Amino acid sequence: MDPATNLILVGPMGAGKTCVGERLAGQCGLRLLDLDHEIERDAGASVTQIFEHEGEAGFRARESAMLAELLRGDGIVLATGGGAVLDANNRALLRGRGFVVHLHASVEQQLQRLAFDDTRPLLARPDREDVLHDLAAARAPWYAEVADLVFDTAGLGADAAATQLAALLAQRWHRIGANA
């Protein structure tokens, strides 16, 4: 299997991994899998419920197991959760099983995009901006470690981001050239 047959999207919550991923999957002739949605389907519970009952450590263990399962195959666009890069084994798997795009979004953009989203356990606090700044600082080196390409989603809706990213991928990732 060619690891580059998978397109993997990493980045912070609110960067557009799922929305942009849906559009890219269609353009690339691949299917979209969302890591958090697959964890929820497998567990029969929401991410919030998993955090409540198993804590973050329990969720991260499920995340690692599901990531390994999904990346056994090929031909997918995988929208990861923002924290999937926390584990060194996950980072190695991401690098080894796909072309990884870091979708970047500033904290200000994240706050705007997530203003009415109450499904994020790590943001279930009044100091959301501080949390997002802390997460951005802690995770930035790990996103950089795994990324084959960084794409800033600033000022772009999902359609425009997918179109611009697809054009970049056509130059950098052999898979899209075969299907575009």
Three-state SS across 155-172? CCCHHHHHHHHHHHHHHH
Q: Determine if residue 17 is labeled as part of a ligand binding site.
A: yes
- E-strand spans in the chain? 7-10, 31-34, 76-79, 99-104, 149-152
Q: Is the dihedral of CA 1, 41, 165, 11 positive or negative?
A: negative
Q: Determine if residue 82 is labeled as part of a ligand binding site.
A: yes
Q: Determine if residue 75 is labeled as part of a ligand binding site.
A: no
Q: Determine if residue 158 is labeled as part of a ligand binding site.
A: no
Q: Determine if residue 16 is labeled as part of a ligand binding site.
A: yes
* pLDDT in the model for residue 114: 79
* pLDDT in the model for residue 4: 61
Q: What is the chain's pLDDT, residue by residue, as a tens digit (180 residues)?
A: 344 689 999 999 888 899 999 999 998 889 999 999 999 999 999 999 999 999 999 999 999 999 999 999 889 999 999 999 999 999 999 999 999 999 999 988 888 887 777 777 777 778 888 988 998 999 999 999 999 999 999 888 889 999 999 999 988 776 554 443
| Cα-based angle 70, 38, 44 (whole degrees, multiple of 5) | 140
Q: Determine if residue 172 is labeled as part of a ligand binding site.
A: no
* pLDDT in the model for residue 150: 96
Give the domains, in start order, of the chain with CATH numbers. 3-172 (3.40.50.300)
Q: Determine if residue 15 is labeled as part of a ligand binding site.
A: yes
Q: Determine if residue 36 is labeled as part of a ligand binding site.
A: yes
CA distance 100 to 9: 6
Q: Determine if residue 140 is labeled as part of a ligand binding site.
A: no
